């Protein structure tokens, strides 16, 4: 586009054509607004022609459907928001528009981002482009699958307990969760507000870093936003691995890790070591309590943040007896099973008789975890682990086993508990399915982590392999 070989409109049209011909088989998108996308492309062209282009001007992007887009339906894959048209853009969307990026459409997710397979969507199934019988992971499954399938060069996801990194891992692409507070949550439909963070899904670390720079930075509209500049891109390629120290927590390499995954992670660690990194096994005992703690804190917060969906202010309204009857019926019909289960668990954990035993105890474990990780970062630059203990599973295979699904978050949850930046890279294949390597750094070390990930990516021969067209 910059060299004028292609116009912005041609590029956007090419992606829209791919989606139109192939997404029926994959199911990534809930909403496509082709007219608006082409108008965005014309706007980008005008920026280019005026010499005002930024690095991502004219680049199309797919948006997880829990991020508010003015005038474009935003459903969180829930019946309770069917037809909802946000009156404003999320800060990340406004920033991408300022960069002249093109909004292609909205992608499928687990309802309100609660899930690990994208099977909790009220509307459709999303498939993994590496094997259409399998799940793309979740909850940002639509966004991850869209990037892997070549429907969009970039996408946005949200990550509360792993929802950017886990689908990136299962789809063989890059997924990055910035430090909590570096990316504004204004306009992201809240799930667990102390854990949620928006971030990029991309084909390469470089692409992920470019999009991170475009969407991050202080935002007065988000009270948890950090008063810091954007995640800076310019030194991405100036990093070196020589002399760095990385920790490898043994708790993230337990027997639940599939042998195929284990083999690929071990190979990557060997490659990282030969590039001059000293990799040491450590113990971080609180990791073992991450899943149980998260599944108290996240539902507790969700029971509060989802209280706003009463059928009065947003989305469709059911008929019921009186005000209470109407709210009850709207919520009973509008929310799916998993969302209801979490609201109930969260309400229970916060109730007077149980608050200390559940919620308070979980917050104490969270504090302990933060403390243990801080200690590790005194001696190490980075932490390495698998992103997911298993590769992409068949659709339906874990649908009736909520505990097994939740255990898949084991390695990703700590980063949300502590606010650490975290990234997943494709490090290889087990039985033809992608394996994700997770890299973690101390809070606020986003630029360093991206530098490190960029170096590691160069060591991984499969990092940018793509599936055949669906
Ligand atoms: N799988 C986790 C859950 O179900 C994380 C989801 C997320 O990060 N949004 O809550």
* Domains of the chain with bracketed CATH: 1-284+349-470 (3.90.1300.10), 293-348 (no CATH)
Catalytic entry in 135, 140, 143, 163: 163
Does residue 163 contact residue 140 with C-beta atoms inside 8 Å? yes
Residues 6 or more apart whose Cβ sits within 8 Å of residue 206 = 236, 237, 454
> Residue 145's CB: how many other CB atoms inside 10 A?
37
Rounded Cα–Cα distance for residues 398 and 155 (Å): 26
Does residue 164 contact residue 158 with C-beta atoms inside 8 Å? yes
- Name the pTM for this structure: 0.98
Rounded Cα–Cα distance for residues 465 and 193 (Å): 35
CB 269 less than 6 A from any atom of ligand 1: no
Question: Which one of 77, 78, 108, 115 would you pick to mutate in the ligand 1 pocket, going by the greatest count of ligand atoms within 8 A of its CB?
Answer: 115
Rounded Cα–Cα distance for residues 197 and 193 (Å): 9
CB 196 less than 6 A from any atom of ligand 1: no
Judged against a pLDDT cut of 90, whether residue 222 lies above it is answered with: yes
Rounded Cα–Cα distance for residues 425 and 168 (Å): 8
Q: How much is the pLDDT for 313? A: 87
Among 251, 388, 366, 371, which residue's Cα sits nearest to residue 300?
366
Torsion angle of C-alpha atoms 129, 133, 136, 141, degrees rounded to 10: 100
Q: At what angle do helices 361-379 and 290-305 cross, to 10 degrees?
A: 120
Judged against a pLDDT cut of 90, whether residue 469 lies above it is answered with: no
DSSP state of 453: H
E strands, 112-237, in order: 154-159, 174-177, 197-202
How does residue 470 score in pLDDT terms, banded at 50, 70 and 90? confident
Nearest CA to ligand 1 atom 5: 161
Q: How much is the pLDDT for 402? A: 86
Does residue 114 contact residue 120 with C-beta atoms inside 8 Å? yes
CA of 188 to the centre of ligand 1 (A): 15
Task: Write out pLDDT tens, residues 55-92.
Answer: 999 999 999 999 999 999 999 999 999 999 999 999 99
Rounded Cα–Cα distance for residues 24 and 298 (Å): 33
Residue 225 annotated to the active site = no
**139: cis peptide before it, omega within 30°?**
yes
Judged against a pLDDT cut of 80, whether residue 9 lies above it is answered with: yes
Task: Write out pLDDT tens, residues 283-303.
Answer: 999 999 999 999 999 999 999
């Amino acid at each position: 586009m910059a060299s004028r070989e292609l116009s912005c409109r041609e590029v956007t049209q090419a992606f829209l054509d791919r989606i139109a011909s192939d997404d029926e088989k994959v199911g990534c998108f809930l909403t496509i607004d082709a007219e608006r996308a082409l108008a965005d492309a014309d706007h980008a062209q005008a920026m280019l022609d005026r010499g005002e282009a930024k690095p991502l001007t004219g680049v199309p992007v797919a948006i997880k459907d829990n991020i508010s887009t003015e005038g474009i339906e935003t459903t969180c894959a829930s019946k309770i928001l069917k037809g909802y048209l946000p009156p404003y853009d999320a800060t990340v969307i406004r920033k991408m528009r300022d960069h002249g990026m093109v909004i292609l459409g909205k992608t499928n997710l687990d309802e309100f981002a609660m899930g690990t397979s994208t099977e909790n969507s009220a509307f459709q199934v999303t498939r993994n482009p590496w094997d259409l019988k399998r799940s793309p992971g979740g909850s940002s499954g639509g966004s991850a699958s869209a990037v892997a399938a070549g429907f969009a060069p970039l996408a946005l996801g949200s990550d509360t307990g792993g929802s950017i990194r886990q689908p990136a891992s299962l789809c063989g692409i890059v997924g990055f969760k910035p430090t909590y507070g570096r990316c504004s949550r204004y306009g992201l439909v809240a799930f667990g507000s102390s854990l949620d963070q928006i971030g990029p899904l991309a084909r390469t670390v470089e692409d992920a870093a470019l999009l991170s720079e475009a969407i991050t930075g202080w935002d007065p509209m988000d009270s948890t936003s950090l008063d810091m500049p954007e995640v800076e891109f310019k030194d991405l390629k100036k990093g070196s691995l020589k002399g760095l120290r990385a920790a490898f927590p043994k708790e993230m390499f337990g027997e639940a890790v599939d042998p195929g995954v284990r083999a690929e992670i071990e190979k990557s660690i060997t490659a990282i070591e030969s590039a001059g990194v000293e990799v040491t096994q450590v113990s971080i005992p609180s990791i073992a309590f991450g899943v149980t703690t998260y599944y108290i804190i996240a539902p507790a917060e969700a029971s509060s943040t989802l209280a706003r969906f009463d059928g009065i202010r947003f989305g469709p309204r059911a008929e019921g007896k009186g005000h209470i009857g109407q709210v009850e019926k709207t919520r009973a019909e509008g929310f799916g099973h998993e969302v209801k289960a979490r609201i109930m668990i969260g309400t229970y954990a916060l109730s007077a008789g149980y608050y200390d035993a559940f919620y308070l105890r979980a917050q104490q474990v969270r504090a302990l975890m933060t403390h243990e990780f801080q200690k590790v970062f005194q001696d190490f630059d980075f932490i390495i682990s698998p992103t997911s203990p298993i590769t992409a599973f068949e659709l339906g295979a874990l649908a009736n086993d909520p505990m097994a699904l939740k255990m898949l978050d084991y390695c990703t949850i700590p980063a949300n508990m502590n606010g650490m930046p975290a990234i997943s890279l494709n490090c290889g294949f087990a039985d033809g399915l992608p394996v994700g390597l997770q890299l973690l750094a101390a809070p606020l070390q986003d630029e360093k982590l991206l530098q490190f990930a960029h170096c590691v990516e160069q060591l991984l021969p499969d990092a940018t392999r793509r599936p055949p067209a669906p």
